[in-house]
Amino acid sequence: MSDRPNILFILTDQQRQDTMACYGNDWIQTPTLNTLADESVVFENAYVSQPVCAPSRATIMTGLYPQSTGLHRNNIPLPRGAQTIGDLAPDDYYCAHMGKWHLGDDAIPQHGFDHWKSIEDFHRPRFTKREYRSVEADYNHYLRENGVEPPPPTLSYEGWVAGANLPEHLTQAGYLGKVALEFIREYPESDHSDRPWLAFVNFFEPHPPYTGPLNGLYDPAELPVGPGFLKRPDSGSLVNRLRADHYMGGGLNPLGEAGGDNHDTTTEAGWRKLRSQYFDNVTLVDNQIAKIISALKETGQYENTIIIFTSEHGEMAGDHGMLEKRSLYEEAARVPLLMKLPGVDHKRVPGSVGLVDMVPTILEMMGESTPDHLQGNSLMPVVNGDADLDDNDVFVQWNGMGDRNLGSPAINRMVSVPWRSVITGDRWKLNLSPGDQCELYNLNSDPHELMNLFDMPEHKDRIRQMASRLRVWQAEVNDDITLPAV
C-alpha cells in the first residue's frame, strides 16, 4: 500500500449489526460483505453518536458530537463553517461524495467534495438559497432517462418508492452502484488520475419502506428471531413502552404508511413479513457493493484502496416490539464496522467504539494528524495492534427533539425528553434521562437488553461510577443537558 492510498467509505442507512455473517447471521445472502469481512479488521461493537439520520451522519462526516455540530435532530443543515472530512483532507486527495447527504442543500456540491452525485430531492424546498431550489437531484434525471417520473419535492423517496414498483437497477441503491462503478472505472483515465481519491458512497437502503424489488427472497416463517422479538420492554423506559404498544397495536411509520408501505403489525406473521423484507433490502445493497468492488479489482485499484464499511444507525425490526430507530437499544444504536486495509490481516477487535472516531481515523490513513477540535480519536493504533479498546467508553445520545410525528401525541411528548448513554469497556450500558425511567443493562449476560437493572440496590455504586463517566465526558464536549442525580 502506498503512503497515499485510495479510501472508499461505504455508508448504508439503517443497517443493524446482525445483518452479516461476521456478526452471527449465518443465513442472510450478503456474499460481498461476507468476503469483505474476511479480509477486514472487524470491530465487534460499533455505536453511532445518535440513532437518527442527520445527527449521526454529521458526526460521521465531521468527527464531532451532535451538540457541537448543532444537528440535534433531522432537517437542520450542517453549518457552512463546519469542516467535514472533505474539507480536512489534504489537497492532493480528490474527494467524491455519492448518494445520501441529508445535511442540507443535498443537490449542491459542498464541504470540500470535488465530485458530487445526489439522490435526495425531498429537502429541496428547504435548501438554504433560493437559487438552489431549482436544482434537482441527479437521481431524478436518471429516473426520467429510464421512463420513470420521480416524486415531487414535497414527497420523500421513503413515502414514494413503496408504490413505484421499481426494478433493482432503478432503486437508489441501483443508481449508486452504477455511478460509483463509473467513478472507479473512469478514474485512471481522468484528468486527476495522478491524485489519490477519497470516495463516500452513501446508500439509502435498507432504510424503510420495508419493501423492494427482492421481496420474497427470505421466507418469513423460517426467519430466525431472537428473544427480544415482539417482547414488550416492560422494565424499560416509558417512551419505549409507548412505542411498542403503538407498533404492536397496528401502528406503522406514518411516512411509509402514507406511501403504501403497509403491514399488519397486530400479528406475528405480519411482523415476520416486514422483517424479512427489511433483510431483502440488505441483500439489495450487497448486490451493488459487489459491482463497486469488482470495478476496483478490474482497474487494478483494489490493492491500494482502503475500504471502510458501516451504517448511519440500526433498525429495531420488531425487537422489543418496535420499528425503526430513535432508541438506545442495541438494534438501533449498534452498527457494523469493517476496515479493509492492504497489508493488514483480518482480525476481530473486541470492546466498543464510536463512529465519532471515523474522521480522525481517515485522516491518519491519509498521513495527516488529528486536528485539536475533533472529539474522536484515530483507531489506527487499534488497527495496527498497538492499542486495544478494553478501557474505551462510548457515548450515545438522544437530544429530545422530535422531527416528525411518530404515531401518537403521547409518543411525541416522550420523544422530546433527552437521554445520555455510556457503554463502558466491560460492556455495561447506562442510559440516563431527566424525564423517564433510567436504564442499566449488563450486555455480557443480557445482550438483548431484556432486564433493566437500574432500580436494583446492588448496582447503585456501579451506576454512580458510570454516571460520573458521563459527566466527565459532558464537560469535555460542552454538553449542557442536566442528568438526574444518582
Domains of the chain: 6-424 (3.40.720.10)
Pick the closest to residue 72 from 336, 401, 347 (CA basis).
401
Contacts of 396 (CB under 8 A, 6+ apart): 47, 48, 49, 50, 51, 328, 333, 354, 420, 421, 422, 423
Statement: residue 402 has pLDDT above 80: no
Reported as a pLDDT band with limits 50, 70 and 90, residue 404 is: confident
Residue 290: Cβ within 10 Å count: 18
171: pLDDT strictly greater than 60: yes
The answer to whether the predicted template modeling score (pTM) of the entire model surpasses 0.85 is yes
Residue 79, pLDDT > 90, answer: yes
- Residue 257 pLDDT greater than 90, yes or no: no
What pLDDT, on the 0 to 100 scale, is given for residue 480? 94
Residue 273 has pLDDT above 70, yes or no: yes
d(CA 314, CA 48): 9
Residue 84 and residue 228: Cα distance in Å, rounded? 37
Q: What is the mean pLDDT of residues 44-60?
A: 97
Which of 131-140, 195-204, 402-411 is predicted with the least confidence, judged by mean pLDDT? 402-411
Regarding beta strands 94-99 and 337-340, do their DSSP bridges make them parallel or antiparallel, or are they unpaired?
unpaired
Q: Which of 87-101, 154-168, 249-263, 395-409 has the highest mean pLDDT?
A: 87-101
Whether the per-residue pLDDT at 403 is higher than 80: the answer is no
pLDDT of residue 48: 98
- Residue-wise pLDDT for 414-468, tens only, equals 999 999 999 999 999 999 999 999 999 999 999 999 999 999 999 999 999 999 9
β-bridge partners, 428: 442
Residue 196, all three cell numbers: 489519490
C-alpha distance from residue 191 to each of 178, 194, 197 (Å): 21, 8, 13
pLDDT given for residue 415 in this prediction: 94
**Nearest alpha carbon to residue 143 among 113, 114, 118, 115:** 118
Of 257 and 58, which is predicted with more confidence?
Answer: 58
Residue 2 has pLDDT above 70, yes or no: no
Mean pLDDT to the nearest integer, 11-20: 98
Question: How far is residue 232's CA from residue 245's CA, in Å, rounded to a whole number?
Answer: 8
pLDDT of the residue at 1 = 54
Distance CA(95)–CA(86), nearest Å, equals 6
CA distance 243 to 210: 18
Cα angle 187, 383, 373 (rounded to 5 degrees) comes to 80
Q: What one-letter code names the amino acid at 417? A: V
Confidence check: pLDDT of 232 > 90 = yes
